[in-house]
Amino acid sequence: MLIPGVAYESSSGGPFFRDINANPSGAYNALYWYMNSGHVPTENRRVGLSGPYSLVFSRSGTPSGKTDLAFMGGLGIKGFVATSARGYVSGKGSGVDTAKYQAVVHWYNNAAQYWTYADSSNNFYSPAMKPGTYTQVLYQTELKVATTTVTVTAGTTVTKNIASTWAAPATTLFQIGDWDGQPKGFRNADKQARMHPSDARMSPWGPLTYTVGSSALTDFPMAVFKGLNDPITIKFTLTAAQASGAATFRIGTTLAFAGGRPTANINGKAGAVPAAPTAIDSRGVTRGAYRGYGFIYDYPVAAGTLVAGSNTVSFQSFSSLFNC
């Protein structure tokens, strides 16, 4: 099944959305293309033309995903917008370190969605887009770092640069993982897309203790399940200078289920329970998904809370689960 070019323009969910592709179920081997679904949906579904797409049988290897099906534009297919009636956006992203992250640019409105990788110099050129005004998003791998708008007109290329608004703190006392919008590197993140959290091939979920400076990233779980592997405990050592003054404990999550969100306890002081995240009416982490709306939680740490020497932060899931 080939889904090349702009075939996803009437689907929904953006560049990182995932859906069912295959299912050898015994009686037959099902080959799928989900044009839309309710599987961890993050935006409304669209109508219009999905495709062109193609079923290809080959005895000489995997067919190219860049197969050009534009000839179908000459067949009078309802809803088909020819390339000549489309426009383009080009530009330069900035603020994303492409040596470390992928820079992805995404355009969407109620009628269509598109995306492209920026090159190693952060330059990007869109696919052929239907005319209209779009929200243009820049991602640091999968973390949304900038949003703007751009209007596309037929037969032209409009220039629209975009700069990351993501700012690292002036001083970081410790960081576990990376601000890439993915659970990549955390325990079981390498397996979660392809099996259930209860699978015997998974590493034990914990509860785990992560010690800054000596633990491996895989000592921190990619998901926190209420009553199963919480609390997560983090131990870290500070100098007197580092411990003086106020700080912020920040947790980034990519997906939550049934109101799951972290509650923090810093050196024995419980933080406030944050407001419930926007709900997604779908199971996620148990079905290979890790990406929902994504929320970042900041817990203020008052001056005097941190101490010189050993400190402990623990956090639990207030309800259900969330992914880090």
Partner 1 sequence: MATYITAQPSIGELRWIGRLNAAVLPNDDVNQASATGGSSSTVEGSDVFVVNGQTRSKFYSSQRFIDDQVHCKQSSISFI
Which of residues 176, 195, 276, 307 is near partner 1 by CB under 8 A? 195
Which of residues 71, 120, 168, 194 is near partner 1 by CB under 8 A? 194
Q: Does 60 bind partner 1 (CB under 8 A)?
A: no
Nearer to partner 1, 43 or 298 (CB): 43
Q: Does 283 bind partner 1 (CB under 8 A)?
A: yes
The two tokens of residue 286 are: 């148990």
Which of residues 11, 253, 311, 316 is near partner 1 by CB under 8 A? 11
Other C-beta atoms lying within 10 Å of the C-beta of residue 281: 8
Q: Does 318 bind partner 1 (CB under 8 A)?
A: no
Residues 228-257 that bind partner 1 (CB under 8 A): none
Q: Does 168 bind partner 1 (CB under 8 A)?
A: no
List, as one string, the DSSP characters of 262-300.
EEEEETTEEPPPPPPPPP-SS--GGGT---SS-EEEEEE
Nearer to partner 1, 44 or 214 (CB): 44
Q: Does 135 bind partner 1 (CB under 8 A)?
A: no
Q: Does 126 bind partner 1 (CB under 8 A)?
A: no
Q: CB-hemisphere CA count at 13 Å for 250?
A: 16
Which stretch, 42-50, 250-258, 260-268, 312-320, contacts partner 1 (CB under 8 A)? Answer: 42-50
Q: Does 74 bind partner 1 (CB under 8 A)?
A: no
Least CB distance from residue 78 to partner 1, whole Å? 5
Whole-angstrom Cα distance, residue 119 to residue 222?
29
Size of interface with partner 1, in residues (CB under 8 A): 70
Other C-beta atoms lying within 10 Å of the C-beta of residue 13: 21
Nearer to partner 1, 72 or 258 (CB): 72
What are the Cα distances from residue 252, in Å, to 5, 8, 177, 178, 179? Answer: 33, 28, 10, 10, 8
Least CB distance from residue 105 to partner 1, whole Å? 11
Which stretch, 121-129, 188-196, 235-243, 262-270, contacts partner 1 (CB under 8 A)? Answer: 188-196
Q: Does 88 bind partner 1 (CB under 8 A)?
A: no
The CA angle 28-286-13, to the nearest 5 degrees, is 85
Could you identify the residue written with the tokens 């050009």?
68
Considering only CA atoms, which of 319, 296, 321, 282 is closest in space to residue 17? 282
In contact, 17 and 11? CB cutoff 8 Å: yes
CA 183 to chain centre: 9
Which of residues 6, 42, 43, 51 is near partner 1 by CB under 8 A? 51
Which stretch, 50-58, 154-162, 238-246, 267-275, contacts partner 1 (CB under 8 A)? Answer: 50-58
Considering only CA atoms, which of 265, 255, 178, 188 is closest in space to residue 219? 188
299 class by beta-carbon count within 10 Å (0-12 exposed, 13-18 middle, 19+ buried): buried
Which of residues 6, 8, 253, 316 is near partner 1 by CB under 8 A? 8
Other C-beta atoms lying within 10 Å of the C-beta of residue 213: 8
Provide the binding-site residues for partner 1, judged by CB under 8 A: 1-4, 8, 11, 13-39, 45, 47-55, 59, 62-66, 72, 77-80, 104, 115, 117, 193-196, 198-201, 283, 286-289
